[in-house]
Amino acid sequence: MIAYILFTVLAILLVYLRNPYFMSDLNYAVTAIRIGVRLSKIKKSFSSILDSFLEKVAKHPQKTFLIFEESSYTYSQADKESNKIARALQTHGRLKEGDTAALFMGNEPHFVWVWLALAKLGCVAALLNYNIRSRSLLHCFSCCDAKVLIVGADLRDAVKEILPALREQGTRVFILSDHSDVEGMESLSDKFEKASDEPLPPQLRANVDLKSPALYIYTSGTTGLPKAAIVNQERVWMATTLLSFAGVHSSDVLYLYLPLYHTAGFLMGLGGAIDKGLTVVLRRKFSVSNFWNDCRKHNVTVIQYIGEIMRYLCNTPKKENDKDHKVRLALGNGIRPDTWADFLERFGNIRICECYGATESNIGFVNYVGKIGAIGREHFLYKMSCPYAFIRYDTEKEEPVRDSKGFCIEVPKGETGLLVGKIGNRNPFSGYAKNKQQTEKKKLKDVFVQGDLYFNTGDLLRVDKEGFVYFQDRIGDTFRWKGENVATTEVADHLLTVDFVEEANVYGVKVPGHEGRIGMAVLKLRENMEFDGKAIHQHVKNYLPSYARPRFIRIQDVMALTGTYKQLKVKLAEEGFNPAIITDPLFFLDDSKGYVPMTQEIFTAITEGTLKL
Ligand SMILES: *[C@@H]1O[C@H](CO)[C@@H](O)[C@H](O)[C@H]1NC(C)=O
């Protein structure tokens, strides 16, 4: 027996010694085991992220918890502020365990205090995106059955607009201000200022357990109204572990500018920071000009990024003091490989920890090695606890390929496949609130055996021979033209190499009388540079097959982005290429002349089919 164990250990060692990432993999394994042990303890005897916060309050009450603009708050102050708010909400809002309250606020300390207050009452917090208005806002509010809406003072007018509908539903609306002159909107600040800051008895939340919903976080999705992903206490724990995998320790200072209404900012950022007992520098929103000064001023060591942020930072004029800061770690997702290399060269030795995941997903990856371009790395321990697969996907039919028995087919290493995560007790998919249809749509049944169930991430990924995972495409980010697949990100990458192009967003637009979609790009030009139709034509001709070349180019001064700095595509695609509707400069690719200004004549010729595309 002992010989057998020894042999196994030796065999594993040998395999690993041939792996240059051995130490990182081992480190990952140790962290994963530690986290696993901790989570199983939490499962046995439940404690929440709030308990973790209270532990930190007891351990280091005077440590700075939050820095915001010119103010700073210790752990103890944050605790007391949230006690007062909890008492006010209990008395005036009549909130109790299990109730849901929606937060409609920008990034500010009160966002954090109100959420802590709700947690102390055993309530669920729905985190509304503060950019949404009218019908969307009402929809998001209503789909989680909230009893109470808590509004930041600056968002008063947005709520006033939907107040009649809210009152009809019997909703209580509180605004974070000392008085309110709007009927049906009650002031909250005056009430909590008078309340006691004594701790609230834990019995108020005695029935909260691992499976209880903790939050609703809205995911924008590609079509339709936002969906409220149900985030239960277990999911909160899973998301906060990311900082551990990234190697964050309690002495770190986290810079948080991502919106608190989203998973990256709220769970991975704030939640992770609480669990580690960090100091958080909170900003209302991202500012490219203040970014590094803020980091210097507060000795920030960890930053988060998403989408295009890293490119914005690299696009600023170079400065002497670019490397003068204490940032050692950046974690997030969506950095392009070229930006990654630029960023390191420009801002010095910062570990970039690219991650992959989604709010409602039961699967995620971390690139803990720092391999440029990869969004994660496979690890056998992870696969054991979270079974997943990459399956063959038919982009034409927009569904997974099935074999003669009706089962899905795993792609071999090196090939692109659709990532699906097995839904099980340990890797649940909680779905969307009051949206059975969308919840069912994310589930894939009978994948490898009759009756099994997987979560469909909608992402096409590829794993290389060394086990690194690369993002290829999100279903929907590919369109078809002339029977060929066009990957929008790939076309955008090519456009970005043209010297006058600062940003590019590629999508497909429908053309009457044609199957599929034809390529279109929105470009933002570099400062003081002109659009050169000839040069860009030459470039796309050199680098892109004819079906992938954007037939239309639209120029915008400011690129439309979602609240999480991702590019908007659906809305742009709907707007199409009609020069009578679009007021931005618009160009058409004429095969003989290159990009020429789009005219009504060209438009008519295309729609009538006299101009062949
Ligand atoms: C930042 O670090 C420096 C030296 O390490 C120290 O002198 C300074 O007080 C720190 N600043 C803050 C805001 O903690």
Q: Where are the alpha helices (DSSP H) in 359-506?
A: 380-385, 436-441, 488-496
Q: Are residues 306 and 174 in the same domain?
A: no
CATH number of the domain bearing residue 598 = 3.30.300.30
Look at residue 579 and tell me if it is in a domain: yes
Q: Are residues 253 and 375 in the same domain?
A: yes
Q: Are residues 335 and 404 in the same domain?
A: no
Highest mean pLDDT among 63-77, 127-141, 219-233: 63-77
Look at residue 284 and tell me if it is in a domain: yes
3-class secondary-structure state, position 71: strand
Cα 304 to ligand 1 centroid, rounded to whole Å: 21
CATH number of the domain bearing residue 224 = 3.40.50.980
CATH number of the domain bearing residue 262 = 3.40.50.12780
Cα 298 to ligand 1 centroid, rounded to whole Å: 7
Q: Are residues 554 and 527 in the same domain?
A: yes
Q: How far apart are the first and last CA of the chain?
A: 72
Integer-rounded Cα radius of gyration of the chain = 26
pLDDT of residue 182 exceeding 70: yes
Q: How large is the average pLDDT for residues 225-237?
A: 89
Higher pLDDT, 175 or 357: 175
299 CA closest ligand 1 atom index? 1
Distance in angstroms (rounded) separating the CA atoms of residues 407 and 404:
7
Nearest CA to ligand 1 atom 1: 299
pLDDT given at position 132: 82
Long-range contacts, stretch 472-480, CB < 8 angstroms, 24+ apart: 472/416, 473/416, 475/393, 475/395, 475/398, 475/418, 476/222, 477/569, 478/395, 479/507, 479/508, 479/516, 479/517, 479/519, 480/395, 480/396, 480/508, 480/515, 480/516, 480/517
Q: How large is the average pLDDT for residues 461-490?
A: 83
Nearest CA to ligand 1 atom 5: 299
Nearest CA to ligand 1 atom 6: 299
Look at residue 214 and tell me if it is in a domain: yes
pLDDT given at position 413: 93
Up-side HSE of residue 436: CA atoms within 13 Å toward CB? Answer: 0
**Ligand 1 pocket residues where CB is under 6 Å:** 298-299
Total domains in the fold of the chain: 4
Enter the DSSP assignment of 288: T
Q: Are residues 353 and 469 in the same domain?
A: no
The dihedrals phi and psi of 376, each to the nearest 5 degrees, come to: 175, 180
pLDDT of residue 223 exceeding 50: no
Cα 67 to ligand 1 centroid, rounded to whole Å: 14
pLDDT given at position 120: 97
Higher pLDDT, 114 or 399: 114
Look at residue 32 and tell me if it is in a domain: no
519: left (phi over 0), alpha (psi -120 to 50) or beta: beta
Look at residue 54 and tell me if it is in a domain: no
Q: Are residues 529 and 542 in the same domain?
A: yes
Cα 320 to ligand 1 centroid, rounded to whole Å: 20
Distance of CA 524 to the CA centre of its chain: 23
Q: Are residues 253 and 372 in the same domain?
A: yes
Token pair for 459: 């992402």
Cα 213 to ligand 1 centroid, rounded to whole Å: 40
The structure tokens 């279109």 sit at 520
Residue among 164, 158, 270 at smallest CA distance from 217: 270
47-79: per-residue pLDDT in tens? 999 999 999 999 999 999 999 999 999 999 999
Highest mean pLDDT among 125-139, 215-229, 377-391: 377-391
Look at residue 159 and tell me if it is in a domain: yes
CATH number of the domain bearing residue 414 = 2.30.38.10
pLDDT bracket for residue 41 (50, 70, 90): very high
pLDDT bracket for residue 567 (50, 70, 90): low
Q: Could you tell me the CA-to-CA distances from 77 to 61, 66, 74, 176, 282 in Å, in that order?
A: 8, 10, 5, 18, 16
AA letter at 193? E
Residue among 514, 613, 592, 538 at smallest CA distance from 602: 613
Q: Are residues 492 and 404 in the same domain?
A: no
Q: Are residues 578 and 503 in the same domain?
A: yes
Token pair for 214: 């903790």
Domain boundary among 317, 349, 383: 383
pLDDT of residue 150 exceeding 80: yes
Look at residue 23 and tell me if it is in a domain: no
Length of the chain measured in residues: 613
pLDDT given at position 54: 98
Cα 274 to ligand 1 centroid, rounded to whole Å: 22
297 CA closest ligand 1 atom index? 13
Nearest CA to ligand 1 atom 8: 299
439-465: per-residue pLDDT in tens? 998 999 999 999 999 999 988 899 999
3-class secondary-structure state, position 264: helix
Cα 553 to ligand 1 centroid, rounded to whole Å: 49
386-434: per-residue pLDDT in tens? 899 999 998 666 789 999 999 999 999 999 999 999 998 888 898 998 8
Nearest CA to ligand 1 atom 3: 299
Helix (H) or strand (E) holding 2: helix 2-17
AA letter at 191? K
Cα 299 to ligand 1 centroid, rounded to whole Å: 6
User: How much is the mean pLDDT over the chain?
Assistant: 90
Q: Are residues 182 and 329 in the same domain?
A: no
Cα 296 to ligand 1 centroid, rounded to whole Å: 9
Domain boundary among 444, 474, 504: 474
Nearest CA to ligand 1 atom 13: 298
Nearest CA to ligand 1 atom 12: 298
Nearest CA to ligand 1 atom 10: 299
pLDDT given at position 564: 55
Cα 417 to ligand 1 centroid, rounded to whole Å: 48
Distance in angstroms (rounded) separating the CA atoms of residues 112 and 118:
10
pLDDT of residue 104 exceeding 50: yes
Q: How large is the average pLDDT for residues 203-227?
A: 84
Token pair for 111: 């966002």
Q: Are residues 349 and 259 in the same domain?
A: yes
3-class secondary-structure state, position 490: helix
253 CA closest ligand 1 atom index? 14
Cα 113 to ligand 1 centroid, rounded to whole Å: 27
Cα 251 to ligand 1 centroid, rounded to whole Å: 13
Q: Are residues 83 and 212 in the same domain?
A: yes
pLDDT given at position 221: 52
SS in 3 state form for 556-600? CCCCCECCCCCECCHHHHHHCCCCCCCCCCEEEEECCCEEEECCH
pLDDT bracket for residue 385 (50, 70, 90): confident
pLDDT bracket for residue 563 (50, 70, 90): low
**Structural domain range at position 152:** 75-234
Look at residue 402 and tell me if it is in a domain: yes
Q: How large is the average pLDDT for residues 178-189?
A: 93
298 CA closest ligand 1 atom index? 13
State which of 70, 299, 301, 328 you would mutate to test the pocket of ligand 1, scoring each by most atoms of that ligand within 8 A of its C-beta.
Answer: 299
Nearest CA to ligand 1 atom 2: 299
Domain boundary among 336, 368, 383: 383
Looking at the chain, the number of H-run helices and the number of E-run strands are 21, 30
pLDDT of residue 119 exceeding 90: yes
